[in-house]
Chains A and B, each alone.
Chain A
Amino acid sequence: MRGLDRLPTGRGNRALLVGLGCLLVGGLLALTPLRVQLPSALYVFVEVGIVFVIYGLLVLGLDVQYGHTGLVNFGHVVFFAVGAYATAMLSAQDTFAGVGLGYPWPIGVAAGVGAAAALGFLLSATSIRLRDDFLAIVTLATAEIFHSLFVNLEGLFGGNVGILGVPRPIASLVADGDTRLVATVFVLGGITLVTLALLTRLTAAPYGRVLRAIRADELVTRSLGKPTTTYKTQAFVYGAALAGLAGGLFALYNGAVAPGFFTIQVTVTVWIGMLLGGAANHRAVLAGLAIIMGLRLVSRFALTVTPISGDVFAAVRLVVVGLVLVAVVRYRPAGIWGNPRELGVDR
Chain B
Amino acid sequence: MSRLTVDGLVVEFGGLRAIDDLSVSVESGELVGVMGPNGAGKSTFFNCVSGVLTPDSGSVVLDGTDVTGAPPERLARAGLVRTFQDTRELETMTVRENVRLAARDHPGERTVPALLGSDDARTTEDAVGERADELIDTFDLTHLADAYSGSLSGGQRKLLELARALMVDPDVLLLDEPFAGVNPSLTREIAEHIRALNEAGTTVVVIEHELETLTDLAERLIVLQQGTLLVEGEPDAVVADERVVDAYLGGGA
Q: Which residues of A contact B (CB under 8 A)?
A: 198, 201-202, 205-210, 212-213, 215-217, 219-228, 234, 341-344
Contacts and interface: CB of A to CB of B under 8 A. Distances in A.
B111 A234 contact: yes
B235 interface: no
Given A206-B121, A210-B101, A341-B150, A219 B72 contact: yes
Interface stretch (B75-83, B187-195, B208-216, B226-234): B75-83
A216 B90 contact: yes
Given A206-B100, A223-B50, A201 B90 contact: no
Contact of B92 (A205, A206, A212, A228): A212
Contact of A225 (B77, B115, B150): B77
A213 B164 CA distance: 13
Given A205-B121, A226-B109, A341 B73 contact: no
B91 to A, nearest CB: 6
Task: Give the residue among B52, B91, B93, B100 with the most A Cβ atoms within 10 A.
Answer: B93
A226 B93 contact: no
Contact of A224 (B81, B91, B110, B117): B81
Nearest to A344: B92
Nearest to B79: A225
A228 B88 contact: no
A202 B150 CA distance: 25
Given A202-B114, A215-B92, A225-B168, A209 B100 contact: yes
Interface residues of B, number: 39
Contacts of A216: 90-93
B108 interface: yes
B123 to A, nearest CB: 12
B148 interface: yes
Interface string B55-83: 00000000000000001110011000110
Given A216-B92, A224-B102, A342 B148 contact: yes
A224 B111 contact: no
B117 to A, nearest CB: 6
Contacts of B72: 219, 222-223
Contact of A206 (B50, B76, B106): B106
A209 B114 CA distance: 11
Contacts of B113: 205
A223 B76 contact: yes
A219 B148 contact: no
